[in-house]
Structure 1
């Protein structure tokens, strides 16, 4: 199945699709809420189109499109590392919206450590995961390195005054979440607890688990007032689609975004249901969701292409290029297309959730 569905970046596409694909990261996303509530599936079924989950596929080649964006007729919303990497690899995708959910971004040390502030990290070992050899981008490493380097910047600590220590981890395979979720922070947490490293970075719902294990935060990047200092591998979260789908079936892209806009409006008035939905999406509990994402989570799901959101995504691209996660630059401005989102606002009121 995968050979027929997966395409090279410039492959042609003729007929309007009867099946489209979506994927989202196991973090708070507007797409995650909309698919969890079956609003996306219901809306496209009304128009004779089946919506399938990339991460639910039994075919690993299909699931890898979560990272590669190689599946024809597919939408993605989630962390920014894979879509930037896929674009740099040559996949012809388009950013048609961006969401931004602030979350706890914590630098942790052991509970008994003498490290009290970021300034105390001079001369210490900072742990960053490095996955087994693969041709996929190392998302976990990009996440950890971004967090720790931001912390050093905020604390005025030179990069060359610390030692970055690699922590070997297996490759991620983001299958559809169930009632239990693989803890990607378990291995670096163990490295911290056993003294292999002196500090690690954890963001999102995993921070609550780290606290329960006795780790102590010395910095929360999420407390920075400037959103461009709160950049991470998780935010901003681009909403991308392959360009061929946008060119051949622009109404599909508009409708997808209209459902997300309607979902955003619903979320504003249903804070508890949002928490419950995100708990299910992230395979955690409501208390951890509230801790990790704060009391205004339900107000955070509007797809936008604001100057700050776009600049944040641009800076993430620059970071990934500077740190070698992508090996070539691309025309960032041409990656952004605001037209579908503008049209989606006009269509939004025709969408009926349910």
Structure 2
């Protein structure tokens, strides 16, 4: 009779997971599509796993995990600034996929401004929000990055302009839509129209709304630049992050989530009108603002990848945030990227097909 193996050599059973959480920003994401049509819920219902939305929770501590990623067994896809900030503070997450949905990134002036060309911003007042928040001030970071990009495209340096702080609010306790009166750009747009500042930044459907409804005049669309790395900001690219322990102990769950996103991206390519309607609902704006803010090819750009461009774009955003003092500490960027779950997700789709689960 062979001897029983030592207890230490017996592989531990994978931990049981009965529920997972997800969160996404009010912007175009594969996760947003998957939850809008409840495909992610259906995918895990087969496994007896409940799926919950952080954004729909009544508990402020749970909603704050959108920024801190403190909730176990949680997935996040959205603006990269909170994800990078949480990792820099020691939160042990991994990037298991990245999406890149280009969006209008506008340098805006008032309708009656005497600023006519980008070079005219020399010496002018550039407004950025300064919010009261316990977490990273992502609106400040994104607006600063956009304006610094505009300054450098004008052949200037940040010291050639005046940076003016505009008082904001405690944004993490609110469910702010990406566009319309509740937009995170409202304070800076008000300051621009009041003459307190001369130039601001806005992006996506919110920027389109400010042009359409408040008459702001675009001086530059950074998104028109051919170099994708010039277009890097909080929304380009957007990482899909998950707790490292879940990725290591239950790679099947992480791969199943990613497989649902891959299928959603495949579906989106042949359903442009449905995608526009879903994103309009996600962003709290109109279909016309979605088309302007994200372009007519939006439905073709939900692919979840870990391509060289996507990984390098996220690296460059991390470097910008470090340079401008938004991070809590340094971390090993390369070790943050976990490629195995996405490879497993592709195997699932290849084996089971691209059809989405019935909601």
**Range of TM-score over shorter length:** over 0.9
Query: Structure 2 length normalisation: TM-score?
Result: 0.92
Matches within 5 A, 1:48-59: 48-59=48-59
Q: Does 1:170 align with 2:174?
A: no
In the TM superposition, residue 353 of structure 1 has moved relative to its aligned partner by 2.8
The residue that corresponds to 2:8 in the other structure is none
The 8 Å contact of residues 118 and 157 in structure 1, kept in 2 or not, is answered as: no
Which SS does the other structure have where 2:195 is aligned?
coil
Instruction: Decide whether aligned partners of structure 1 residues 185 and 324 sit closer, same or farther in structure 2, where only a CA change above 3 A counts.
Output: same
Cα separation, 1, equivalents of 2:266 and 2:73: 26
The residue that corresponds to 1:143 in the other structure is 142
Larger C-alpha radius of gyration, 1 or 2?
A: 2
Q: Is 33-42 or 150-159 further displaced after alignment?
A: 150-159
In the TM superposition, residue 179 of structure 1 has moved relative to its aligned partner by 11
Cα separation, 2, equivalents of 1:62 and 1:53: 10
Which SS does the other structure have where 2:101 is aligned?
coil
Cα separation, 1, equivalents of 2:176 and 2:32: 11
Matches within 5 A, 1:181-220: 182-212=182-212, 213-220=214-221
The residue that corresponds to 1:297 in the other structure is 298
Cα separation, 2, equivalents of 1:336 and 1:179: 31
Instruction: Decide whether aligned partners of structure 1 residues 197 and 179 sit closer, same or farther in structure 2, where only a CA change above 3 A counts.
Output: closer
Cα separation, 2, equivalents of 1:283 and 1:181: 10
Cα separation, 2, equivalents of 1:282 and 1:210: 14
Matches within 5 A, 1:112-261: 112-132=112-132, 134-173=133-172, 174-175=174-175, 182-212=182-212, 213-261=214-262
Unpaired stretches in structure 1, ≥5 consecutive residues: 1-12
Cα separation, 1, equivalents of 2:185 and 2:56: 23
The 8 Å contact of residues 87 and 93 in structure 2, kept in 1 or not, is answered as: yes
For these two proteins, the number of residue pairs brought into alignment is 341
The residue that corresponds to 2:317 in the other structure is 316
Query: Structure 1 length normalisation: TM-score?
Result: 0.93
Cα separation, 2, equivalents of 1:139 and 1:179: 16
The 8 Å contact of residues 74 and 242 in structure 2, kept in 1 or not, is answered as: yes
Per-residue CA deviation, residues 159-212 of structure 1 (Å, 9 max, x unaligned), is 111100000000213538699872221111110001000000000111122112
In the TM superposition, residue 288 of structure 1 has moved relative to its aligned partner by 0.3
The residue that corresponds to 1:4 in the other structure is none
Which SS does the other structure have where 2:229 is aligned?
helix
Instruction: Decide whether aligned partners of structure 1 residues 179 and 141 sit closer, same or farther in structure 2, where only a CA change above 3 A counts.
Output: closer
In the TM superposition, residue 352 of structure 1 has moved relative to its aligned partner by 3.4
